[in-house]
Structure 1
Amino acid sequence: MIMEDARSLAAGTSVVVEGAQVTPGMAGVAENAVWLMPSREEQLARLEHRHPDGVHKDYVWGWELVRSQLEGTPANVVVVDGQTVEQTIMAVEQKFGATLGSCPAARTTHERRSLIRISNRQLAEQVTERLHMGRNQDHGGKAVGVFDCECAQASCTEVVELAVEQLPAALAQEPPSIVAPEHSNPT
């Protein structure tokens, strides 16, 4: 699904893909790609922090797959252990240099919120699709998705967990309807 989305974009469109859903074997290793990779220890620590009731083995398998496909390639890899979001952004900006200056960007809260809503709609489709395939039942038998906070503040890195049953109502409202509790009044 992600590769279909990426392939449907116009040539020259800038795309950031995070996670193990798109592997180097699928996307290729080229100058226009940078891979954000934690060490295995960092990956496990992050997963244990996000999922204290148990780390889902598919996440670790995905990390191992991406890492193995990057070995021995000229891939642009940024090791993200201990880095802040700002440090990671700076490292990516350094890798892409002048290319970023010609790319469209969401500079206002409204523009960021619109992009986050598009992303959250796509995530909702993925969660629903996994549910129909009999997956995504890791939270006590409930299908839950993880979504980006729609407060759209440039420094926000919060995520919001929603049950599949909550998605239609949340997405029917104008953004920001999916917000972290500490951002409940984002305007």
Structure 2
Amino acid sequence: MSERGESAVPSGNRPPGPCPPAVWIGGPPGAGKSTLARALAHRRGLRLYQSDTLTWEHRDRALAAGHRAATRWEALSPGERWSGPPAGLLAMSLHQERGAMIADDVRALGRGPLTVVEGTPVTPDTVPDPARAVWLMPSPELQRRRLAERGLPAGVHELYTLLLADLDARITAHGVADRVITVTPEATPAATLATAEALLAGPLAEGPAARTPLERQALRRAANEAVAAQYRAYLARPWTTGDPATVPVTFTCECADPACTAGVTAPLGTFPPADGAPLRRH
């Protein structure tokens, strides 16, 4: 049983053996995790695991396991989901349960380059070794400003604030403040990347990494396939609207340039390209 009295959510992916080589990036929404993870993966030819692309797969695992909070969330209307008390918002987010599922997903990965694992549920409780992890922590004021720029509903904004406080408490409890990168209004993505590379220098040096342009393109295609699968899983739910053929989706440029983190926006129905060519911004 979990600390909320829920039965554990099985991942269906619990192979024996050690975790494949990975580095871990956590932080609350609005901290810049996705930007950092993409830049790090592209710069070094690494595999990218973004937990947001598994949101609906993880929710389906929880539903299959009879998780009460997951079942309740699906039964509520979109408005009702974000109008409950803070404890209910946090429980229905599956924040704790998804952290365990992410760890299971990483253990289930096949052979390949070192993986950059990124997501809000990546907490000190999740990672196998804090020396292989960093957490981006904005000040509450900076997070509020960034979330306000997104125009989020009040309930979503409240949940994201709760996730910041929850992570801060877990970092303190585990004594891993030395693995925190403080995000300030003046911080640039390049500076954050340099700090993360310094903190993760050991595991990054171990690799392995993609070496050829074709290997790098294959990694970016795999990341884009995960994004497409996430959108399709969302649009398949009975309470959503949108045409899977025409909804615009921003993918990652699939060129092999280590410095390129550009996005390519295209209708979901056109991915992957029929001719198999890589998506390119330029």
Kindly tell me: are residues 85 and 102 of structure 1, through their superposed partners in 2, closer, same or farther at Cα, counting changes over 3 Å?
same
TM-score of the aligned structures, taking structure 2 as reference length:
0.48
> Partner of 1:79 in structure 2?
182
Q: Matched residues in 2 for 1:99 and 1:143: separation?
A: 38
Superposed counterparts of 1:152-171, under 5 Å: 152-160=256-264, 166-171=267-272
Kindly tell me: are residues 112 and 125 of structure 1, through their superposed partners in 2, closer, same or farther at Cα, counting changes over 3 Å?
same
Is this contact kept in 2: 1:120–1:148, CA < 8 A?
Answer: yes
Range that drifts further, 66-75 or 21-30: 21-30
Deviation string, structure 1 residues 124-145 (Cα, Å, up to 9, x no partner): 222222333457779xxx9665
Superposed counterparts of 1:138-157, under 5 Å: 145-157=249-261
Q: 2:203 aligns with which of 87, 90, 99?
A: 99
Which secondary structure does the structure 1 equivalent of 2:119 belong to? coil
Q: Point out which structure has higher relative CO (alpha carbons under 8 A, 6+ apart).
A: 2
Kindly tell me: are residues 172 and 12 of structure 1, through their superposed partners in 2, closer, same or farther at Cα, counting changes over 3 Å?
closer
Which secondary structure does the structure 2 equivalent of 1:79 belong to? strand
Provide the identity percentage. Answer: 30
Unaligned runs of 5+ in 2: 1-57, 59-100
In structure 2, give the amino acid aligned to 1:38.
P
Deviation at 1:87, TM superposition (A): 1.7
> Partner of 2:83 in structure 1?
none
The aligned length equals 172
Deviation string, structure 1 residues 21-42 (Cα, Å, up to 9, x no partner): 4333333662222222322333
Q: Matched residues in 2 for 1:30 and 1:176: separation?
A: 36
Range that drifts further, 89-98 or 13-22: 13-22
Does 2:170 match 1:69? yes
Kindly tell me: are residues 65 and 10 of structure 1, through their superposed partners in 2, closer, same or farther at Cα, counting changes over 3 Å?
farther
Is this contact kept in 2: 1:14–1:103, CA < 8 A?
Answer: yes
Deviation at 1:122, TM superposition (A): 1.2
Which secondary structure does the structure 1 equivalent of 2:181 belong to? strand
Kindly tell me: are residues 77 and 13 of structure 1, through their superposed partners in 2, closer, same or farther at Cα, counting changes over 3 Å?
farther
Q: Matched residues in 1 for 2:240 and 2:172: separation?
A: 30
> Partner of 1:37 in structure 2?
137
- Structure with bigger gyration radius: 2
Is this contact kept in 2: 1:20–1:63, CA < 8 A?
Answer: no
> Partner of 1:5 in structure 2?
105
